[in-house]
Amino acid sequence: MSSAVRVEPLNEAPGDVEYRWDTDTDILTANLRTRAPTEGASGSVEIEGTDGSWLILDLGGGSIQGVEVAVWPEVRKRSSLTPPADASAGRVMVGGNDNGIASIEMNTAIVAEADESERTIHFRLGPARQTKSVQIARDILIDVDGKDRIAGVWLLGVPPFPDAQ
């Protein structure tokens, strides 16, 4: 991914996430319940995997406000998958400070890993590299690399797919 982001401090505790499964399409949506007002573009960052998978990052006021897994990559199951313990709370800002609408499309490899119960899912974007994790919500972490590019997305506490209950 080549679009640079900036991380801003979060002045409050990270908010809750609302998960929603679309049972007809297997689309998983994770949205921040409370959205802090910020200045910047609204729109989306669409990330297409080399295998046809799609992740969409929803932007509101320039910051990432949600994640949608539109087309799933193959998910590798791990006996355990632990998110980074040193994630700092923050806001991940995309684009400039204009108030316009942004739609950014990017192509890169997407690798998905999940724990056995598929309650913790990690999407790595592009090649493996050193990252820091930013907690944008109680159950969403964004990995940012040393060049200030999005390198991954963690979804925590994912509810089971409705048919699996």
Residue 104's pLDDT is: 85
Residue 135's pLDDT is: 97
Q: How many helices (H) and strands (E) does the chain have?
A: 0, 14
Query: 99 by DSSP, 3-state: which?
Result: coil
Domain count, the chain: 1
* Rounded Cα–Cα distance for residues 154 and 165 (Å): 23
What's the longest Cα–Cα distance across the chain? Answer: 44
Residue 29's pLDDT is: 98
Range of the structural domain that residue 133 is part of: 5-164
- Cβ-contact 31, 17 below 8 angstroms: yes
Residue 11's pLDDT is: 84
Residue 98's pLDDT is: 57
HSE, side-chain direction, 13 A CA sphere, residue 90:
18
* Rounded Cα–Cα distance for residues 110 and 122 (Å): 10
Average pLDDT for runs of 10 along the chain of length 165 = 80 92 95 75 91 94 93 95 95 74 86 96 96 97 96 97 71
pTM here is 0.92
Residue 121's pLDDT is: 98
- Tell me, rounded to whole angstroms, the distance of Cα 49 from its chain centroid: 14
